Amino acid sequence: MPDVRTRVLVTDVAWPTTDVERDVLAAAGAELVLSPNGDPAELSRLAADADAILTCFAKVTAEVLDAAPRCRTVARYGVGVDNIDVAHATALGMVVSNVPVYCVDEVADSALLGVLALARRLLPLTRDVAAGGWGRAVPGAGTRLRGKVLGLVGLGVIGSALASRAQALGLDVVAYDLSGRPVPGVRVVDSLEELLTVADAVSLHVPLTERTHHLIGADQLRTMKPTAWLVNTARGPLVDTDALLAALEAGEIAGAALDVTDPEPLPADHPLRTRDDVVLTPHTAFSSDGSLAELATKAATNVVDVLRGRVPATVVNPEVLDSPALRGPLESR
């Protein structure tokens, strides 16, 4: 007899174990199949008998989707879905889901950490101590944050969480946000240019789309204060990396804190890796013991919902629900 077990292909993970999602799926009678390397050819082979796909950073391309005739849903571990060909999944009748809320505190904390590290000149000081020094006279003094202006590009749940943290430290907060969402104590400005002009630190909290690709480029960096810092914990391609390096070298801005880069990872010899005015972390702002467990549970639950004929909590492509191509009926919760 043919093997008709329910299988969920996990393309890749950025944490040590898949025990949480494996247990959630097993309770629904589904088997987790973990790709060994996330290679496109390997994903296409494994997708052939997958009923669902769970993905973190690996590209779920049209080719992978075409190779998955049984697949009913593609679920993202995380917020952004720029690594999934959502349009093609929709055309094939697959529900695409994400987990928009799971690491709000972690990313807000990380963005604030970037500002603090730059303000207190953490890198040059710790590097001097590690090299055997103890020089209070390491060039340049720290920056007093009270009274400075933090500019938020995007005022969703993470931007709002960062706003409250910054206000507790005495920073004034302004935001450029198209939603018009009010946040107590935050002044919303009418344009990105206005925000860049007034901010002492600019933190990015928007998704990566065609519109936001290289949202911060050479012109925007020249608009910022020469004493200002740029913080990116969202998506690497929001920032033109070459333009950022040029702006730092020219003294057009004072520093950057980046948890995400373009490309990612940066080449081992990239100049941004060794600059004292750049704080780099390896796309880990989202990560904590609590956030990873929540993420795995919610992403796996989205898969289980579709496999059991229910609409998942967060659907990225709601138009698929009324499409004749939809793979299997779904009932609302």
- Residues known to be catalytic: 235, 264, 283
CB atoms within 10 A of CB 275: 17
How many whole angstroms from its chain centre is CA 248? Answer: 24
Q: How far is CA 204 from CA 2, 56, 77, 158, in A?
A: 50, 21, 20, 10
Q: How far apart are the first and last CA of the chain?
A: 35
Q: How far is CA 298 from CA 134, 162, 305, in A?
A: 47, 23, 10
Query: Omega into 36 within 30° of 0, i.e. cis?
Result: no
d(CA 292, CA 285): 11
Helix, strand, coil share (%) of the chain residues, nearest 5 = 35, 15, 50
Report whether 136 contacts 125 (CB < 8 A): no
Structure tokens at 198: 């007034």
Coil/strand/helix, residue 66: helix
Amino acid at 61: T
Residue 201's beta-bridge partner residues?
A: 150, 229
**What's the per-residue H, E or C state across 263-292?**
CCCCCCCCHHHCCCCEEECCCCCCCCHHHH
Q: What is the torsion angle, in degrees rounded to the nearest 10, for the CA atoms of residue 254, residue 260, residue 264 and residue 265?
A: 70
Structure tokens at 118: 């730059």
The backbone torsions φ and ψ at residue 146, rounded to the nearest 5 degrees and listed phi first, read -55, 125
d(CA 32, CA 23): 9
Angle at 29 between CA 12 and CA 76, to 5 degrees: 30
Coil/strand/helix, residue 100: coil
